[in-house]
Amino acid sequence: MNFSLNFYSAALLLAAAIALWHAIAVMRRPAGVTPSITAFLLGMAWWCVAYALHWSHTPQPYPSFWLETTYVGVVAIPTAFFTFTLRYTGHDRWFTRWWLMLATIEPILTLLLLWTDSRHGLFFGGLPRDGSPLFNGGPWFWINVIYSYGLMLTAVVLLAQAYKRATHFYKGQARMILVGALLPWAVNALMLAGFNPLPGLDLTPFAFTLTGLAFTYGVRNYRLLDIIPVARDTLIEKMADGVIVLDTQNRLVDINPTGQWMLRARGRPPIGQPIEPLLAHWQNLVERFREIQDGQFELQIEDDLPIFVDLLIAPLSDATGRYTGRLLVLRDISRLKQTELKLRQANEELHDRIHQIERLQTQLQEQAICDGLTGLYNRRYLEEALAREISQAAEEGQPLALLMLDIDHFKGFNDTHGHSAGDMLLQHLAGLLKGLARTGCIVCRYGGEEFVVVMPGAGIEQATERGQEICDDLAKTSVLHRGTQLRITVSVGVAAYPVHAHTPAELLHSADQALYAAKHRGRNGVAVFREQQRVQ
């Protein structure tokens, strides 16, 4: 019997060491379930150490001290286990401050009644406290049993539900947690049935130690504390992006509902099967991305309802860095594309409007400086341009000549043939002037039937020749109006800067005086300004 007790005590201490070691390992991996697993393992270590000291007959203040001390861990374990289950299965809404307060009432009250049992007998009920498996006790003993196993039973139900709805990718993890939760029930059932390799000794601490090991096993193998199924359900199942996980052989490991919708997949996803059948309608995608492990692409999936997709491919690896598969994230950017298209169309429309405005501005500018009938520059533009040309001629020391033309007997044409004939004659002369004017010349309609040609860099002789050329060419042409050939002649006056004038007004006045002289000589000719012609 002493050998059995020594072996039992040593096994309890070993279980305590294992639980403590795993508690420290879990604390280094922060996650939502870390505090509850840590509390569970520390409570388990406390229980085992105190129980080992009791059975090794370690000196104690009073006979049942170590046995009663075990209950510090015993009452903490169900609450910690239930808290872990709530976190793991996604029932965090139950985990409130009020629930924590209520959850601590029963353990604290149990410890108080245990340590004061000699006064009221509510816990042990007068039974001996020798440490043997206690299946009978006082009223509070059974209240504590019902409370503790009620929490454990509820946790098992929640874990079974989590296992049932877990996807293929997380089945192994959920199975491990559920098996760990069932171990204490299985061990107690064996003990009640009489199957106990250590008769008279309690195997429950070992069962709960194995439960703690099952939980922490997920840290190393299933990454339990890095991501738990509830996080997967929240982040992956409900994501607006499609998520697909493939192994190294392009077999489907996991896919969320959005991914199925984007790929137009029907029914249950073929977990563990090659991805190619799932992409039967888009073989070009399979061929294009079969070997790509990392990258981001934009593509269009053609179907009854075409969609634009942003495809992100990222490699997956295990803890050792070994390549284990690929993660595919598909983001529907159809709305973004539609917005881009609308923005592009709006931008094009804006550019068109800007061009229209620019054309209108050009037209307005031309209308402001051009004559509407002949298309030549008007008098307003002439006044600005002549001043600029005279200033530039002065700076460069170059001459500048000006021709002033007037259609002979124009009023008689209008009276005889009408204003429409007069307009045709004006347009005919304007076209002739534009054709004969050399590069750099400025041709303007000065008013009525008068026209002005500014010739930068030209002297009196060159301007006179050009004026005579205009008269000769005009005399050779005619305008057909209502079956009648109309012919016109012009009189031309010539003035030059700086010989005859130094300002625009003086130059125009001198040319006008020369024009008067040409008409006085008999019209259809050219006259150059002479000083004696100046009229004050």
Q: Are 473 and 526 in contact (CB under 8 A)?
A: no
Q: Which range has highest mean pLDDT (55-59, 182-186, 344-348, 523-527)?
A: 523-527
Please report the DSSP string for 67-124 in residue order.
Answer: HHHHHHHHHHHHHHHHHHHHHHHT-GGG--HHHHHHHHHHHHHHHHHHHTHHHH-SSS
> Is the four-CA dihedral 341, 344, 348, 350 of positive or negative sign?
positive
Per-residue confidence band for 463, with pLDDT thresholds at 50, 70 and 90: very high
Question: Quick one: 520 and 443 in the same domain?
Answer: yes
Assign residue 296 the CATH number of its domain: 3.30.450.20
Question: Quick one: 228 and 252 in the same domain?
Answer: no
In this predicted model, what pLDDT tens digit does every residue of 472-488 receive, in sequence order?
Answer: 999 888 888 888 888 88
Per-residue confidence band for 168, with pLDDT thresholds at 50, 70 and 90: low
For 265, residues 6+ apart whose C-beta sits below 8 A from its C-beta are: 255, 259, 278
The pLDDT of residue 426 is 92
Q: How far is CA 46 from the centre of its chain?
A: 52
Tokens (6 digits) for 523: 């019209």
Question: Quick one: 437 and 413 in the same domain?
Answer: yes
Q: Is the pLDDT of residue 521 over 60?
A: yes
User: How many CA atoms, within 13 angstroms, populate the side-chain half-sphere of residue 171?
Assistant: 7
The pLDDT of residue 256 is 82
| Total domain count, the chain | 3
User: φ, ψ for residue 239 (rounded to 5)?
Assistant: -70, 145
The pLDDT of residue 29 is 59
Rounded to an integer, what distance in angstroms lies between the CA atom of residue 107 and that of residue 104?
6
- Mean pLDDT of the residues in the chain: 81
Rounded to an integer, what distance in angstroms lies between the CA atom of residue 386 and that of residue 239?
74
Please report the DSSP string for 312-332 in residue order.
Answer: EEEEEE-TT--EEEEEEEEEE
The answer to whether residue 137 is domain-embedded is yes
- Antiparallel, parallel or unpaired: β 400-407 and 252-255: unpaired
Question: Quick one: 212 and 273 in the same domain?
Answer: no
Per-residue confidence band for 133, with pLDDT thresholds at 50, 70 and 90: very low
Please report the DSSP string for 339-366 in residue order.
Answer: HHHHHHHHHHHHHHHHHHHHHHHHHHHH
Rounded to an integer, what distance in angstroms lies between the CA atom of residue 414 and that of residue 205?
126
Helix, strand, or coil (residue 500): coil
Question: Quick one: 268 and 217 in the same domain?
Answer: no
Mean of the pLDDT values across residues 24-49? 76
Rounded to an integer, what distance in angstroms lies between the CA atom of residue 198 and that of residue 131?
14
Per-residue confidence band for 313, with pLDDT thresholds at 50, 70 and 90: confident
Question: Quick one: 129 and 186 in the same domain?
Answer: yes
CA distances from 350 to 356, 357, 393 (A): 10, 10, 43
CA distances from 333 to 302, 306, 309, 312 (A): 14, 11, 5, 13
CA distances from 250 to 167, 268, 278, 290 (A): 18, 18, 11, 8
Rounded to an integer, what distance in angstroms lies between the CA atom of residue 239 and that of residue 258?
7
Question: Quick one: 57 and 167 in the same domain?
Answer: yes
Last residue of a domain, one of 215, 232, 249: 232
Last residue of a domain, one of 167, 199, 232: 232
For 36, residues 6+ apart whose C-beta sits below 8 A from its C-beta are: 80, 81, 83, 84, 87
In this predicted model, what pLDDT tens digit does every residue of 52-111 receive, in sequence order?
Answer: 888 888 888 887 888 888 888 888 888 888 888 887 777 767 767 777 777 788 888 988
The pLDDT of residue 526 is 95
Question: Quick one: 165 and 53 in the same domain?
Answer: yes
Question: Quick one: 126 and 249 in the same domain?
Answer: no
Of residues 153 and 169, the one with the higher pLDDT is: 153
Rounded to an integer, what distance in angstroms lies between the CA atom of residue 414 and that of residue 427?
14
Mean of the pLDDT values across residues 140-146? 88
Q: Is the pLDDT of residue 196 over 50?
A: yes
Rounded to an integer, what distance in angstroms lies between the CA atom of residue 228 and that of residue 234?
10
Q: Are 422 and 481 in contact (CB under 8 A)?
A: no
Question: Quick one: 132 and 168 in the same domain?
Answer: yes
Residue range of the domain that includes 218: 2-232
Query: pTM of the entire structure?
Result: 0.48
Assign residue 94 the CATH number of its domain: 1.20.1070
Rounded to an integer, what distance in angstroms lies between the CA atom of residue 269 and that of residue 90?
24
In this predicted model, what pLDDT tens digit does every residue of 216-254 receive, in sequence order?
Answer: 765 455 544 444 555 555 566 667 788 888 888 888 878
Of residues 26 and 126, the one with the higher pLDDT is: 26
Per-residue confidence band for 291, with pLDDT thresholds at 50, 70 and 90: confident
